[in-house]
Structure 1
Amino acid sequence: MIELIVADRCTDCGACIEVCPANVLDAGQGGLPVLARAEDCQTCFMCELYCRADAIYVAPDCDRRVAVSEAEVLASGRLGQYRKHSGWNEWAEHYPNEQWLMETVFRRAGEAAAQTRAVRPEGLGGKE
């Protein structure tokens, strides 16, 4: 789930806002993106992939937010790691771009969620 936007790194390009399929980000004061609906994040990593400034951190936990500090994420080297290892932009010559494989992952996750909803009795956390 999206956790952090490092304002000092953000170039205000708006790419993250444009590519987010869940409309999680809004343009804030001065145009910098803000987490407007973080709970709607699908953990698709699109915002992180399209952020050429490596200003966005998406935690791999898609069920709940994970408390992280900007200092922790900066020190860990996690900013831009997903984009790098996905072979995007300047990393294309160093890493293969296999992002297209995510289609299968998302489809299987959707099917699993549908099965869970179909099996879960109403009133016990299922969607009514």
Structure 2
Amino acid sequence: MIEIVSATACIACDVCIKVCPTDVFDRGEDGIPVIARQSDCQTCFMCEAYCPVDALYVSPVSDPVGADSPHADEDAVARAGLLGGYREMVGWGRGRTAGSLLDRNPLLKAVPPLPESRLPIPADVVDSPWNHSAQ
């Protein structure tokens, strides 16, 4: 469940607002997203995955945590390196190597020719309402 929007890291780009499938965020007066409907969060991690500056933290807990929880403490989450941690885990975040650089498949110099179709030749079209020949 979404727990933290870091006002110091956020650049007010609205990406999290746009990608959230359940409309959890509202745009704050200062442009920083506000968690307005936390109970609607599906813990899908979309907001955290798409945040370009790692300003969000989605807790792996599916219910809101208490104020005394380390999952709600921005400093504790930042010290643990969890702001944007999901992005990093899926390969979108800090220090990632682009997948194309890891690809070991041989380069195609040309597209090989496609074999002839094994399907029968299409039926003749005739001028009748059901497009069938008269029997």
Distance 1:20 1:73 in 2: 21
Give the Cα separation in 1 of the matches to 2:60 and 2:52. 19
- Aligned counterpart, 2:28: 28
Equivalent-residue separation in structure 2 for 1:45 and 1:89 (angstroms) = 13
Paired residue for 2:74, among 64, 70, 77? 70
Q: Per the alignment, do residues 92 and 47 of structure 1 end up closer, same or farther by CA in structure 2, a change over 3 Å counting?
A: farther
1:123 corresponds in structure 2 to: none
Q: Which amino acid aligns with 2:90?
A: S
SS of 2:34 mapped into structure 1: strand
The C-alpha deviation readout for 1:73-98, integer Å capped at 9, x for no partner, is 1111111111011112662527x9xx
CA distance in 2, matches of 1:70, 1:49: 18
TM-score, structure 2 as length reference = 0.65
Aligned to 1:93: 98
How many Å separate the matches in 1 of 2:29 and 2:40? Answer: 21
Shift of residue 57, structure 1, vs aligned partner: 0.3
Residues 84, 93 of structure 2: 8 Å contact kept:
no
Asked which structure has the greater CA Rg, the reply is 2
Equivalent runs, 1:33-48 vs 2, <5 Å: 33-48=33-48
Given residue 10 of structure 2, which amino acid in structure 1 is its aligned partner? C
The structure-2 alpha-carbon separation of the partners of 1:82 and 1:12, relative to structure 1 and needing over 3 Å to count, comes to same
CA–CA distance in structure 1, aligned partners of residues 88 and 52 of structure 2:
10
Q: Cα–Cα, structure 1 residues 56 and 12, in superposed 2: closer, same or farther, change >3 Å?
A: same
Specify the SS of the correspondent of 1:30.
Answer: coil
Please list the CA deviations of residues 22-73 of structure 1 after superposition, one character each: whole Å capped at 9, or x if unmatched. 00001011211000000100000000001011000000111x1123211111
For 2:131, the equivalent position in structure 1 comes to none
Structure 1 runs of 4+ with >2 Å offset: 89-94
Under a length normalisation based on structure 1, what TM-score does the superposition of the two structures give? 0.68
Aligned residues: 94
Report % sequence identity. 48
SS of the residue aligned with 2:30? Answer: helix
What SS does the corresponding residue of 1:4 show, helix, strand or coil?
Answer: strand
